[in-house]
Amino acid sequence: MSDENKHDQPNLPLHEKEEQPLKNQKDSRITNTESSPEKSKKKSSWKSGIIGGLVGGLVVAALGGGYLAATDDGINTNTSTGMVDKDTGEVVTTNVSVDVTSDVTEAVAKVEDAVVSVVNMQSQSSNGFGGAFETDESMQEEGSLETAGEGSGVIYKKDNDTAYVVTNNHVIDGSDAIEVILKDGTKVEAELIGTDIWTDLAVLSIPSEKVTTVATFGDSDALKVGEPSIAIGSPLGTNFASSVTQGIISAKNRSVETDITGDGVVDWEVTALQTDAAINPGNSGGALINIAGQVIGINSMKISSDTVEGMGFAIPSNDVVSIINQLETKGEVVRPVLGISLLDLTEISEQQQESVLKLPEEISSGIVVAEVQSGSAAEIGGLEQYDVIVKFNGVEVTDSISLRKEIYASELGKEIEIEFYRNGELQKTTVTMTAAETSL
């Protein structure tokens, strides 16, 4: 996912499409009491005069009708004209400071030092990420490298001399070098440990010498719709690093269509948290936290449209933890593959469906096997070119997205039953899922 790049329509990655705050409302109640007019008439005249004088004095003080006081520091406080220096007559500020502490400020304080800026350095000028979050300031040479894009990241682990940072794959995609900028402005060179294009996650390592804070992950499955959410990152690049926006969890388990390969065709659905916390270009890879200061998601996308406001998406923390543990140890996520290239049946003309595939008229969805890879699970299982897969492991297959999800959810070494049409006849076969370099 990118910053106006791979996840453009309808959803853009954070740096190109991207992340708004929460509003705390206090319940105010006003209680009115009334005094009895009859009792007032029984008061003595002298009491009334004293009380009236006191009330009158209080009204004058409260309304400030010309009330003036000189403070110890030589400042005249006039509720009608404001704070003025008694010698110069100039307006000045009050020396009264307000120490505001809230659940939000405490949550931010716990994790803000663990949120960093991630800079994608490339050997030549590039419009990486569609140029969505590039600025004139960011396009500066550093040796033979230039800044191609900027995003955010979260330090989540410190192990002796090494600290680990999670960010989005689209933030570091195509980089020749990666630079991480800590909250205090310290710049360190990062090493890419591993990436996963399907979940749009990447893990980096940096020296831990200057790392003071490590974020903790919360349970994204336990989130409630409507609870506060806070986004921290570098919108529009490092000039606005450590920006904080507040909102709520708008929805859980949203299926967001994305274009992983950048060909303009939707080929994956990301399961994401939806938030109205402001997410902007450059927030990609940054933290979405709960009111306890725990990371509950990695900000990744937003709806980019003039008619849409407050629809940002984050990869749930439970998914993040599963992926980064694999990236740390293996450098990649090993998934089962079938070993085919494919087309959605809806991409095939009705004439070809009838003449080439010989499908029954009632079959309107499925996956057409365009090619079978040699030695793959599909070839061993007997699948052939032009077979139309309609069920995988008992689940109906409607398009390439649904098939990918079922394949990636299966276990390596497990036997899976596949139902398919060949020359108009429904057939079944069993394949054993294996790992390979192919996408399916």
Count CA atoms closer than 13 A to 232's CA, side-chain side.
Answer: 26
- Whether 365 contacts 399, CB under 8 Å: yes
Q: Look up residue 215 and give its DSSP letter.
A: -
Catalytic residue chosen out of the listed positions 2, 152, 170, 175: 170
Q: Is 7 marked active-site? A: no
User: Between vectors from CA 112 to CA 106 and to CA 115, what angle results, nearest 5°?
Assistant: 155
User: Between vectors from CA 66 to CA 61 and to CA 72, what angle results, nearest 5°?
Assistant: 80
User: What are the counts of helices (DSSP H) followed by strands (DSSP E) for the chain?
Assistant: 8, 25
CA-to-CA distance for 169 and 196, rounded, in angstroms?
Answer: 7
Catalytic residue chosen out of the listed positions 234, 284, 400, 410: 284
Catalytic residue chosen out of the listed positions 173, 196, 200, 344: 200
Instruction: Dig out the tokens for 17 from the structure.
Output: 């499409």
Q: Is 284 marked active-site? A: yes
- Among 331, 316, 280, smallest CA distance to 301 is for 280
- Among 115, 324, 314, 290, smallest CA distance to 218 is for 290
Q: Is 170 marked active-site? A: yes
Nearby residues of 109 by Cβ (< 8 Å), 6 or more positions away: 293
Cβ-based burial of 198 (10 A; exposed 0-12, middle 13-18, buried ≥19): middle
CA-to-CA distance for 259 and 372, rounded, in angstroms?
Answer: 24
Q: Look up residue 420 and give its DSSP letter.
A: E
| 3-state DSSP assignment of residue 351 | helix
Active-site residue set: 170, 200, 284
